């Protein structure tokens, strides 16, 4: 199963490659596909949307496979080539995948099949950019069909997945370049994106300062006793109970000392603190007496602050211009 490099540089190259490649024969699930390179890798395929549009797929979003032609212009193609005969231009659109979903596979696919004049460069922590003409253009995460908490929206739910028909239009999370046919230099045609950075809503957090401080001190007083009761099940139950709550609900728990879910919040937060201190699940998690939360006050405060920022919706991820 060879992994060929087909860095097709022009629309004409893509068109010629498609016309000169025989579709896979037979009656199997891959019948009719036109592979980009190796015929033993039919998931890496070319789709002719129309005479002026070709899509290159890595099948990362396999659930769209029945509607590739329909959805190619809606973001599910890793690379989308278009031609404008009227204006004598050609364009190429590059798409990343979603947060945490086959990220390496998509970047590897781009390395093998995007134009030779475009280069994928790493920006650290799973972030990438497209380099051309000596300049880097951040490649944003694909937010279509992705968990909303990864889209930096308001919900704190972990398992809210957008439906197939949830989008009425394209999300514009791509890097698109255009140029006159026959020329070499690319010009950015899409919105310029910047790497997301965490930012804290200080005004909102200040409104809950008293509740946060009281909760932190209360949890610290419980740490020694509660640590010895932590188990995988109790921490998991606490986690899923909080996932069903909105950020506003968590803020209410934080502000109300008598809230019935107060202990659930403490179990979740202290469980994460202990997990980080132990470096994993040690002897069933909670049975390692050598590690004590109360011996690490600075680590406790730092972890508590991070968790509160996330759970209460104080922390937002925003694109920040470099």
For 269-289, how does the pLDDT look when each residue is reduced to its tens digit (9 = 90+)? 998 888 877 764 444 444 455
Closest to 238 in 3D by CA, of 219, 213, 214, 212: 219
Q: In the prediction, which pLDDT does 103 show?
A: 72
In whole angstroms, what is the distance from residue 129 CA to residue 195 CA?
9
| 285 to 47, 222, 228, 240, 290: CA distances (angstroms) | 50, 17, 9, 18, 12
Helix axes 262-278, 297-311, angle to 10 degrees: 130
Provide the percentage of residues in the chain whose pLDDT is more than 70: 80
Q: What is the mean pLDDT of residues 49-68?
A: 74
Name the pLDDT band for 149 (thresholds 50, 70, 90). very low
Q: What is the mean pLDDT of residues 33-59?
A: 89
Whether 206 shows a pLDDT value over 50: the answer reads yes
Please, are residues 49 and 69 in contact by the beta-carbon 8 Å criterion? yes
Q: Which long-range contacts (CB under 8 A, 24 or more apart) does 130-136 make?
A: 130/94, 130/175, 132/177, 132/186, 133/185, 133/186
In whole angstroms, what is the distance from residue 173 CA to residue 125 CA?
19
Closest to 145 in 3D by CA, of 164, 173, 171, 168: 164
Whether 172 shows a pLDDT value over 90: the answer reads no
Whether 213 shows a pLDDT value over 70: the answer reads yes
SS3 call for 234: helix
Whether 116 shows a pLDDT value over 50: the answer reads yes
Cα Rg of the chain (Å, integer) = 25
DSSP 63: G
Name the pLDDT band for 180 (thresholds 50, 70, 90). very high
pTM higher than the cut 0.85: no
Q: In the prediction, which pLDDT does 121 show?
A: 94
In whole angstroms, what is the distance from residue 20 CA to residue 203 CA?
61
Give the up-direction half-sphere exposure of residue 77: CA atoms within 13 A in the CB hemisphere. Answer: 29
Closest to 266 in 3D by CA, of 299, 302, 229, 295: 229
What does the pLDDT look like over 229-262, one tens digit per residue? Answer: 888 888 889 999 998 899 999 999 999 999 999 9
């Amino acid at each position: 199963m060879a992994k060929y490099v087909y860095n097709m540089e022009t629309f004409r190259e893509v068109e010629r490659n498609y016309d000169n490649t025989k579709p896979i024969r037979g009656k199997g699930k891959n019948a009719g596909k036109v592979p980009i390179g190796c015929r033993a890798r039919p998931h890496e395929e070319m789709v002719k949307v129309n005479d002026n549009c070709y899509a290159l797929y890595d099948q990362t979003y396999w659930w769209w496979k029945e509607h590739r032609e329909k959805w190619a212009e809606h973001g599910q193609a890793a690379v989308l080539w278009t031609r404008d005969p009227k204006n004598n231009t050609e364009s190429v659109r590059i798409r990343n995948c979603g947060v945490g979903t086959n990220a390496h596979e998509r970047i590897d696919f781009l390395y093998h099949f995007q134009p030779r004049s475009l280069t994928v460069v790493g920006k650290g922590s799973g972030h990438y950019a497209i380099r051309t003409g000596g300049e880097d253009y951040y490649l944003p995460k694909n937010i279509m069909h992705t968990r909303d908490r990864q889209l930096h929206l308001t919900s704190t739910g972990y398992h809210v997945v957008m439906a197939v028909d949830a989008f009425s239009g394209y999300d514009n999370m791509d890097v698109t370049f255009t140029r006159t046919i026959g020329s070499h230099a690319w010009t950015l045609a899409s919105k310029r994106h910047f790497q997301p950075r965490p930012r804290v809503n200080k005004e909102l957090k200040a409104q809950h300062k008293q509740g946060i401080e009281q909760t932190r001190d209360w949890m610290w007083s419980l740490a020694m006793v509660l640590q010895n009761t932590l188990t995988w099940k109790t921490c998991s139950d606490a986690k899923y109970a909080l996932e069903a709550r909105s950020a506003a609900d968590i803020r209410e728990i934080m502000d109300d000392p008598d809230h019935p879910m107060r202990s659930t919040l403490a179990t979740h937060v202290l469980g994460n603190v202990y997990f980080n201190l132990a470096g994993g699940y040690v002897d069933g998690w909670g049975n390692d007496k050598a590690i004590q939360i109360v011996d690490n006050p600075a680590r406790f405060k730092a972890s508590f602050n991070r968790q509160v920022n996330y759970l209460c919706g104080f922390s937002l991820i925003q694109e920040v211009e470099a």
